[in-house]
Amino acid sequence: MELWYTEKQTESYGITAKVKETYVHEQTDFQQLAMIETEEFGTMLVLDGMVMTTDKDEFVYHEMVAHPALNTHPNPEQVLVVGGGDGGVVREILKHEKVKRVVLVDIDGKVIEYSKKYLPNIASGLDDERVEVHVNDGFMHIHDHKNEYDVIMVDSTEPVGPAANLFTRGFYQGIYEALKEDGLFVAQTDNPWFKADLIQSVNRDVKEVFPVVRVFWANVPTYPSGLWTFTMGSKQHDPLAVDETAIPERETKYYTPRLHKAAFVLPKFVEDLVK
């Protein structure tokens, strides 16, 4: 008998992946967690029925959350990751020698535990000496750490359940206050095919808080529509003002210095959303 995992990305559309084995399927204190082995994408982490990351395509998203921001800030020593319990963004951050400290705050310790066990190449950086892992609500953390971070990355689940308040104006104000005077943040901001209104509302809210706001995108095949956006809010530094020829080549598979500015060139229907 064939077994397939289907993610309903809207009420009437989804993706489906043939399953070889189910490693974990449990209700944590915060969400339903599954870790499955798929034919096409390898090991897959699923939270509340939504694909979070897979062995095969994880590098795209994790590189694009980390590198544009860290190549825009001139001296990113103190970095915070809100969410990101699979460790992929942390692994990418550690490729930047200027980073002295990475604080990861994920609300669900089970994500961290199972990612270390079943996604070792993604979670590989979580035990690094520069990394501090906290199991806590990111919303609370940023309000308790004012003027502390150079870069903040929000690698959260969709704005439902535990992440509902991570897409609000109050959260972006809290991020602003947790950043140092020339700090910047980046957040994953979903897809324009099924979540256009979310992209628009986030863009509006971030523009009310930050003077520099830029949207960029990447192709993540296992995420809804495959066209994934990211929103950067900055107190001073503009990602489009970076001299990409000065960006060092690093061990990446999607991001390159040449792609740094190109990622901010949006398809017209997306550009129109964030004008």
- Does 157 count as an annotated binding residue? yes
CA 205-190-223 angle, to 5 degrees, is 170
Is 150 a binding residue for ligand SAM by CB under 6 A? The answer is no
Output DSSP code: residue 233.
E
Is 108 a binding residue for ligand SAM by CB under 6 A? The answer is yes
C-beta nearest to ligand SAM: residue: 83
Interacting residues with ligand SAM between 39 and 58 (CB under 6 A): 47, 52-53
- Output the smallest distance, CB 248 to ligand SAM, in A: 25
Output DSSP code: residue 48.
T
Output DSSP code: residue 245.
G
Stretch in the footprint of ligand SAM (CB under 6 A) among 5-13, 76-84, 191-199, 266-274: 76-84
Catalytic residue selected from 155, 190, 205, 238 = 155
Tokens 């509902």 belong to 164
Q: What are the angstrom distances between the C-alpha of 195 and each of 5, 200, 225? A: 22, 9, 10
Residues 76 and 99: their CA atoms lie apart, in Å, by 6
Residues 74 and 209: their CA atoms lie apart, in Å, by 21
Candidates 55, 57, 63, 86: give the one binding ligand SAM (CB under 6 A): 86
- Does 62 count as an annotated binding residue? yes
Stretch in the footprint of ligand SAM (CB under 6 A) among 159-167, 175-183, 208-216, 240-248: 159-167
Output DSSP code: residue 87.
S
The gap between the terminal CA atoms of the chain, to the nearest Å, is 50
Q: Which is nearer to ligand SAM, 174 or 257 (CB)?
A: 174
Candidates 59, 114, 139, 185: give the one binding ligand SAM (CB under 6 A): 139
Stretch in the footprint of ligand SAM (CB under 6 A) among 5-13, 73-81, 135-143, 207-215: 135-143
Residues 126 and 141: their CA atoms lie apart, in Å, by 19
Is 198 a binding residue for ligand SAM by CB under 6 A? The answer is no
Give the alpha-carbon dihedral of 54, 87, 191, 255, to 10 degrees.
Answer: -90
Interacting residues with ligand SAM between 168 and 197 (CB under 6 A): 188
Instruction: Decide if 155 is catalytic.
Output: yes
Is 155 a binding residue for ligand SAM by CB under 6 A? The answer is yes
* Amino acid of residue 58: E
What is the pairing mode between strands 227-234 and 4-10? unpaired
- Cβ atoms of residues 154 and 186 within 8 Å: yes
Candidates 55, 57, 137, 148: give the one binding ligand SAM (CB under 6 A): 137
- Output the smallest distance, CB 156 to ligand SAM, in A: 4
Instruction: Provide the binding-site residues for ligand SAM, judged by CB under 6 A.
Output: 47, 52-53, 61, 82-86, 105-108, 111, 137-139, 155-157, 162-163, 166, 188
Where is the binding site for spermidine, in residues?
62, 86, 155-158
Q: Catalytic residues, which ones?
A: 155
